[in-house]
Chain A
């Protein structure tokens, strides 16, 4: 099931070796789905020539104040990143 735009979600906080496209600075952080982008193969497998099934890819919007603890220039500025579904940990539809 595709997660709707506007839904609050959390990025999984795990560390694992390999070709990970989820940058460290958003792991464990809460954000909002900006849009879903359709299904794409998982680079974590593709990078090693392994077969990959399709995963939904999302653009997730994070507030600077969520990403960083100190020296925030403007708390309302945002960073958006593309995150694969299997990195998205939990969400609720109560937006």
Chain B
């Protein structure tokens, strides 16, 4: 037996991952209590809650990619997007709830980066859940102090002559970066373009490859 005496390893040779069913925290217990109380009082049903969770889970950055691709191919839509991001998203049929959205455009001279230093505000209603790193204290604190170093760690070496604009979502607005469209994509249609547009390019920690 190759793994004799190694009881922290599974029979496949990989380390066991600890069970995560730890006791509930105070606030977890509070959430469950309030939810059950409201179900009992008939405010909403358990099914309605499950449905809402499913709607939230189903949201992905793909909706944002479609939005950006449309802005790349339709100058009038781009104008409307920059003027009122939320209305433009609704125009495409995305149910984003009451969210206020501001789209910020990358150009030859300007690069935009989104952060929420106070918590983890993110356009979830359009892009789904934020990546884990977006919520870390390290990203949140460094993005407003040394954003170029942060971008470098993401593999984006921003030339000094490009003006970097960091957007801190401190209150009611949510933000999406409208990345630059690379020249080599000029013959592509909206569907193919949407596949190119990554989540991180809409946060501003990456750009779309300038070569195919």
Contacts and interface: CB of A to CB of B under 8 A. Distances in A.
B171 interface: yes
B173 A37 contact: yes
- For B117, B118, B170, B173, which residue has the most chain A Cβ atoms within 10 angstroms? B170
Contact of A40 (B147, B160, B171): B171
Interface string A12-29: 000000000111010000
Contacts of B165: 61, 77-80
B144 A79 contact: yes
Interface in B118-141: 118
Nearest to A81: B168
Contacts of A84: 171
A33 to B, nearest CB: 14
Nearest to B150: A73
A40 B172 contact: yes
B159 to A, nearest CB: 10
Contacts of A23: 117-118, 168, 170
Interface residues of A, number: 24
Contacts of A79: 144, 165-168
Contact of B172 (A25, A57, A74): A57
Nearest to B172: A40
Given A77-B163, A77-B165, A80-B165, A21 B171 contact: yes
B145 interface: yes
A77 B164 contact: yes
B11 interface: no
Interface residues of B, number: 22
Nearest to B110: A78
B148 A77 contact: yes
Nearest to A67: B144
Contacts of A2: none
B153 interface: no
A90 interface: no
Contact of B171 (A74, A77, A82): A82
Given A76-B163, A80-B165, A21 B144 contact: no
A43 interface: yes
A61 B172 CA distance: 16
Contacts of A25: 117, 144-145
Interface of A: 21-23, 25, 37, 40, 43, 57, 59, 61, 67-68, 71, 73-74, 76-84
Given A79-B168, A82-B170, 14 more contacts: A23-B117, A25-B144, A37-B173, A40-B171, A57-B173, A73-B146, A77-B163, A78-B163, A78-B165, A79-B167, A80-B165, A80-B168, A81-B167, A82-B169
